[in-house]
Amino acid sequence: MSTASPAPAPAPTGAAAPASPAAARAEPGRLARIFLPNRAVDRATAVGLVALWTAAAFIVWLVSPWESLPGPGEVWRAFGALWWEGGMGPEMFTTLKLITHALFLTIVISMVLSYLTVIAFFRPLVAAVSKLRFLGLTGLVFPFTLLTGGGYALKVSMLTFGMTTFFVTAMAEVVMSIPREQFDHMRVLGAGEVRIFWEVVMRGTLDRALDITRQNLAIGWAMITMVEGISRAEGGIGALILNQNKHFHLAEVYAVLIAILVVGLLLDYLMGVVVRVLCPYVSLDRVAR
Amino acid sequence: MTAGGPPTPPSPPSPFLAVAAAAAGAPASALPAPAGEDVLLDVRDVWQKLGGNQILEGVTLQVKDRVRPGQVTGQVVALLGPSGVGKTRLIRLISGLDRPDRGQISGVRAQALPAGSVGVVFQSYPLLRHHTVLGNMMVAGIANGVPREQAKTKAQMLLKRFGLDHRADFFPAKISGGQRQRVAIAQQLMSQKQLLLMDEPFSGLDPAALDDVIKLMIEVAHMDELNTIVVVTHDIRSALIASDTVFMLGRERAADGTITSGARIKHQYDLVAKGLAWRPGIEREPEFRELETEVKEHFRSL
């Protein structure tokens, strides 16, 4: 007896066709994607994740059993007291002025040194400056005090020194790693060495220079409390936090720490905006990669 | 794909050359008159060592002016050779980026070829990523002393001619590989250079893009009688379609296949003499296929 096989079901057509098992495996849902390695998530999901982690951290803080960690309300009140009565605003301004001054000097010195790496004669000097990053700042307080006479000049020079060694290391590496093809390309176009330097070295690495500035701003900002603690006469947020430390005002210490973190994040964001405005091609490069 | 320009009518004078001549202060009509059998590129007994290895060993080749009565005819020369044979090294020497250890390289009327006098389209089409397409074009003009406004006008004209005017304000990261290649070629036309070297222009192209590049190459070559494009490649078929002369760069080998020398020109084909140049659809002709087979045979021994 012959058995008639059932007629095959009509093939699904159009958009209603179910995805193949392989395709279904390749496209996990939004929730699954956030737990799988090497997956991109959309912007809304990314923002949601940040909000989730922030909320989790806040809840941990809220229910924290540790005596040494003042509650959010306590810190908020301490912040208000410091801001309105403790002079936190002017102290923050003093600190911002110090970091801006030091950052400006760092950029000027570091860029000059980094660009000099295109000339073989200066390479050992630049390498030496770069190696100085292994010197601890603490040991340099005495010689720098003798050199500058202390006070504001001491703090600026300490910060500048600290940031310059890291800036030069990163920026010299950027300059040295420019592909030879870029220089050759400009040479065959007929450009002179000065124009090549301007286009390939200076303008061609501007986005990376700004990025390094951004990183060094973060390094400088992290060093600020230590440097301001060396000479407290001019005040500043570092002096403020050390004074609160001395009197075991934990809520005030946390309030200042949070203020330092928030201002640091704001400065970092502003630097990011500067990079995007001055170098709009950077975001395209990232997409291309 | 078509090989060579159409046999008739005569090509119009190149508008690009006219602009370049005007920028240089000379009318197009005042440019050197073409002369048959003029040597446009002369590479004589060139030797080059790299890292202790003899890369080039007595490379000698000559490119002469091809003349077709009533037609502006430039030259497209292919330099064929396997990977690592020293083709790119030779490009660097011809373009003046490096100096040979021994030997001489000269251009039209035995003039030296310093860096900047020869156009080079590198394999990766390097463009300045911080400039737009138009900006990259302008840099090429300004670098050669063309006033800014004039450079802009000429760049816009070239971009239009190369079908890139709608990409003028794009940064290089936002254009395709084929468009990058066209910008890189157009950049070289911003100044008055008659020798253009192209390093592996056919690599990684799909068949349609390959046709476009060959057409563009032939078009650029035939813009002026003295224009010469030297294509360095290992793509035999495309090289034979595009060029009028083929040089094969290779090394001597012992019986067991061991390389025993640096590279030199081992074979030369005059495709004009063979009737295999300047003809559309030449790749379909039996003679073309025979030649392709012969070149492939030689290529294996390079």
A260 versus B204: the higher-pLDDT residue is A260
pLDDT of residue A7: 43
B254 close to B102: Cβ distance less than 8 angstroms? no
Backbone torsions φ then ψ of A177, nearest 5 degrees: -95, 10
CB contact under 8 A, A206 and B130: yes
pLDDT of residue B37: 57
What mean pLDDT, rounded, does chain B reach? Answer: 84
Of B207, B195, B221, the residue nearest B113 (C-alpha):
B195
Question: What is the spatial distance between Cα B105 and Cα B61, in angstroms, rounded to a whole number?
Answer: 10
pLDDT in tens, B238-284: 999 999 999 999 998 888 878 878 899 999 999 999 888 888 888 88
pLDDT band at A180 (very low <50, low <70, confident <90, very high): very high
Q: Please list every residue in chain A whose beta carbon sits closer than 8 Å to the beta carbon of residue B174.
A: 284, 288
pLDDT mean over B211-232? 89
Percent of residues, chain B, with pLDDT higher than 70:
88
Mutate to test the interface with A, among B94, B124, B128 (most CBs of A within 10 A): B128
Q: Which of A188, A190, A280 sits opposite B97 (nearest CB)?
A: A188
The rounded distance, in Å, linking the Cα atoms of B179 and B133 is 10
Report the share of chain A in percent with pLDDT over 70: 89
Q: How confident is the model at residue B162 (pLDDT cuts 50, 70, 90)?
A: confident
Q: How many helices (H) and strands (E) does chain A have?
A: 14, 0
Question: pLDDT tens across A76-127, in order?
Answer: 999 999 999 989 999 999 999 999 999 999 999 999 999 999 999 999 999 9
pLDDT at B71 over 80: yes
CA distance A163 to A105: 10
Alpha carbon of A102: minimum distance to chain B alpha carbons (Å): 28
Size of interface A-B (CB pairs under 8 A): 72
Task: Find out whether B136 and B78 touch, Cβ atoms under 8 Å.
Answer: no
Buried b or exposed e, range A186-208, using 16+ CB within 10 angstroms = bbbbbbeeeebbebbbebbbebb
Looking at the whole model, is its pTM more than 0.90?
A: no
The pLDDT-based confidence of B203 (bands split at 50, 70, 90) is confident
Beta carbons within 10 angstroms of residue A31's beta carbon: 8
More confident residue, A26 or A66: A66
Max mean pLDDT range (A44-58, A217-231, B191-205): A44-58
Q: Which domains does chain A have, with CATH numbers?
A: 72-288 (1.10.3720.10)
* Range in A5-19, A96-110, B131-145, B287-301 with the lowest mean pLDDT: A5-19
Mean pLDDT along residues B223-248: 91
The continuous run of DSSP H or E covering B57 comes out as strand B53-64
User: Which of A189, A207, A280 is facing B143, going by the closest CB pair?
Assistant: A189
C-alpha–C-alpha distance, residues B141 and B23, integer Å: 10
Judge whether residue B39 has pLDDT over 70: yes
The pLDDT assigned to B103 comes to 94
d(CA A158, CA A106): 11
Structure confidence at residue A39 (pLDDT): 85
Q: How far is B51 from chain A (nearest CA, A)?
A: 18
Residue B219 makes CB contacts below 8 A (sequence gap 6+) with B5
Residues 6+ positions from A108 with CB-CB distance below 8 Å: none
Would you say domain B37-118+195-302 falls under CATH 3.90.180.10? Answer: no
Please tell me which residue of chain A has the smallest CA distance to B140: A189
Work out the average pLDDT over A173-180. 93
**Whether A190 and B144 lie within 8 Å, measured CB to CB:** yes
How far apart are the C-alpha atoms of B240 and B246, rounded to whole Å? 7
SS3 A207: helix
Q: Are B140 and A189 a contacting pair at CB < 8 A?
A: yes
**Interface confidence: ipTM more than 0.85:** no
Nearest to B116 among A188, A204, A207 (CB): A188
Residue B239 near residue B246 (C-beta atoms within 8 A): yes
**Inter-chain contact B116–A284, Cβ cutoff 8 Å?**
no
pLDDT the model gives residue B150:
93
pLDDT in tens, B122-139: 988 899 999 999 999 999
Partnered with residue B61 across adjacent β-strands are: B43
**In a 3-state reduction of DSSP, which class is residue B59?**
strand
Which helix (H) or strand (E) segment holds residue B229: the answer is strand B228-233
**For residue B14, is pLDDT > 60?**
no
Cβ-defined contact of B173 to A190 (cutoff 8 Å): no
The pLDDT of residue A268:
94
**For A64-69, what is the mean pLDDT?**
85
Question: Which chain A residues are Cβ-neighbours of B129 within 8 angstroms?
Answer: 204, 281, 285
Give the C-alpha distances (Å, rounded to integers) separating B1 from A248, B60, B163, B281, B284.
84, 31, 19, 6, 10
Task: Give me the pLDDT at residue B224, please.
Answer: 87
At A285 the pLDDT is 66
pLDDT for position A15 = 42
List strands edge to edge, sheet with B245-250.
B119-121, B195-199, B228-233, B75-80, B245-250, B264-270
Q: Which of A188, A195, A284 sits opposite B171 (nearest CB)?
A: A284
Please say if the pLDDT value at position B59 is more than 70: yes
Q: Which of the residue ranges B15-24, B164-173, B195-204 would you say has the lowest mean pLDDT?
A: B15-24
Q: Which residue ranges make up each domain of chain B?
A: 37-118+195-302, 127-192
Best B95, B122, B129 residue to mutate vs chain A (most A CBs within 10 Å): B129
